[in-house]
Amino acid sequence: MRIDVISLFPEFIDQSTGFGVVGRARERDLLQVQGWNPRDHATGNYRRVDDRPFGGGPGMVMLIEPLRACLDAARVADPAPAPVVYLTPQGRPLTQARVRELATLPRMILLCGRYEGVDERFLVNEVDEEISIGDYVLSGGELAAAVLIDAVARLQDGVLNDAESAAQDSFEGEGGLLDCPHYTHPASHAWGEVPDVLRSGNHAAIARWRRQQSLGRTWLRRPDLLDEAGLSKADRKLLEAFRAEHAAGGKAEQP
Ligand code: ADE
């Protein structure tokens, strides 16, 4: 997959996608990330990329023309069609389901805003989709772009090895539930014991326990996800038992 990023801070994008799983994907050419700076496409002595908003008020608004020239340059570099995605708190909240869809594209172009925003006419004419990474305001779209790049990169074929497999992640399992808790050595520690079932060697019992923990955690932390999960009868029974144990003050999970 190729991702072009239009940003006043292309070095940020380059560096923030240079580590770990995403950095490795780039090194192996499973993912290409290319930054494009509108300032390189601005004209005049001052290479202006922004101006005051019509109607007054605080902040600056990014100009149409440097963005347009920058986008054209990105399109010339690779003519394969690519949707333009604008990162903004006004966008549709990003979900793992949308990440999965975007990850199938051969290419996309991300637009990172700064200042108060981008001239609305550029958005209307050039942007295909607006995405938010949450209901809070960042100083610019770069961090949001890095989040989106990470999320789609790890779903590209060959990026994760078996040990890192995405299949068990939160949102990726059956019904899009949260992940279960994980434990490693030592089995016994001043902060508690690893649940016996995980040391039993009984794979069916372990799978059942993990499913029950996923259901219980989702119920405790993100009950909204359960509405969409399409739980089976067996799931409902597991969750019922979890809730009963929880109500009895059991050790199913501390809230
Ligand atoms: N730019 C500023 N805040 C943002 C957010 N929450 N999501 C996406 N882009 C943003």
Q: Which range has the worst mean pLDDT, 48-52, 162-166, 228-232? A: 162-166
Q: Which structural domains are found in the chain, ordered by start?
A: 2-153 (3.40.1280.10), 168-247 (1.10.1270.20)
Strand, helix or coil at 5?
strand
| Known catalytic membership, residue 89 | yes
Centre of ligand 1 to C-alpha 136, Å, is 7
Q: Is 156 left (phi over 0), alpha (psi -120 to 50) or beta?
A: beta
pLDDT tens string 195-212? 999 999 999 999 999 999
**Residue 167, pLDDT above cutoff 80:** no
Tokens 């993990």 belong to 210
With the most atoms of ligand 1 within 8 angstroms of its CB, the residue from 62, 138, 147, 148 to mutate is 138
Q: State the average pLDDT over residues 51-63.
A: 95
Whether pTM exceeds 0.75: yes
pLDDT score recorded for residue 165: 77
Q: Which of 14, 53, 68, 89 is catalytic?
A: 89
Strand, helix or coil at 147?
helix
Per-residue pLDDT band for 255 (boundaries 50, 70, 90) equals very low
| Known catalytic membership, residue 29 | no
| Known catalytic membership, residue 116 | yes
Contact residues for 121 (Cβ-Cβ < 8 A; gap 6+)? 64
pLDDT tens string 228-245? 899 999 999 999 999 999
**Measured distance CA(242)–CA(81) in Å, rounded:** 49
Helix, strand, coil proportions of the chain in percent (round to 5)?
45, 15, 40
Q: Which of 150, 169, 179, 253 is catalytic?
A: 169
